[in-house]
Amino acid sequence: MINLTGRTALVTGGSRGIGRATALLLAVAGARVIIADRSDCTASVDTATWSEIVRRGGEAESHYLDVTDSAAVDALISDIAERYGLDILVNNAGVLTAGAVGETDDDTWSRQFKVNVDGTFYCMRAGVRAMLEAGAGQRGKPHGKIVNVTSISGLRGNPGFAAYCASKAAVVNLTRQAAIDYSPKGININSVAPGFVETDMTAVYDAPTRAALEGQTPNGQWADPTQIADAVLFLSSDLSDHIVGDILAVDGGWLVGTPVVA
């Protein structure tokens, strides 16, 4: 069993879907979990992720954060680092809007990149700074773990999602580049690329399209958010110490060669 006792994990976008499942799983493994997004801290104690962790006997707190505000990101991560230290950073916050190139307006394009790319960059930048200040690890002995949640849409085209595909592709290469820079300094950076998952985001697909997508997925089904969280947990643990800059697809076999459905 993976044991993260004594470690502090920050999860962005942790109020629902993959982020919530990840926060809960990290807590089960023993980590202190800090959720940062725009809704968990204002949710009722009956529905908030942080309160669910506490009810289960874990340690958690929640903070309002707009990941597109670099100053706010710096302030929160600095506070976390000062109070606890930062061992694990999961960049999960993201948005999805449909539209081919000709159908995508300036605001849609800009928002996809502000949240998915800029937000990930701001959190990574503040995260690596905090981890380095805490004491860089020796080569081969990671001091910190960063896991970026991207998408299979960042690894291949997905008809009708121009801005989303482009933004997630940027996160893929940002992960690889940062991994090269910081692995020698003891920070292990990887990414999880989910396929189709049962979340609010995938509600944009109508029933016929969903049926087609499931039918053309090798294992015939969409993922539960916990199945994505399992991969994040693995990359956050000591078991992944020799994995650097990898993009782990959790997609039911979609990238193996499944045809694209328009």
Question: Which residues are the active-site residues?
Answer: 164
Distance, in Å, from the CA atom of 62 to the CA atom of 37, rounded to the nearest integer, reads 8
Specify the residue for token string 């926060």.
23
Cα dihedral sign, 57-63-67-71:
negative
140 CB neighbour count, 10 Å cutoff: 10
> CA 103, 105, 110, 111: dihedral to nearest 10 degrees?
-80
Nearest to 228 by CA among 201, 202, 196: 196
> CA 121, 125, 128, 134: dihedral to nearest 10 degrees?
-150
| The two three-digit tokens of residue 198, written as one number | 């049962």
Strand order in the sheet with 144-149: 60-64, 32-37, 8-12, 88-91, 144-149, 187-194, 247-250
In the chain the beta strands, taken as DSSP E runs, fall at 8-12, 32-37, 60-64, 88-91, 144-149, 187-194, 247-250
Q: Which helix (H) or strand (E) holds 231?
A: helix 225-236
Q: List the beta bridge partners of residue 15.
A: none
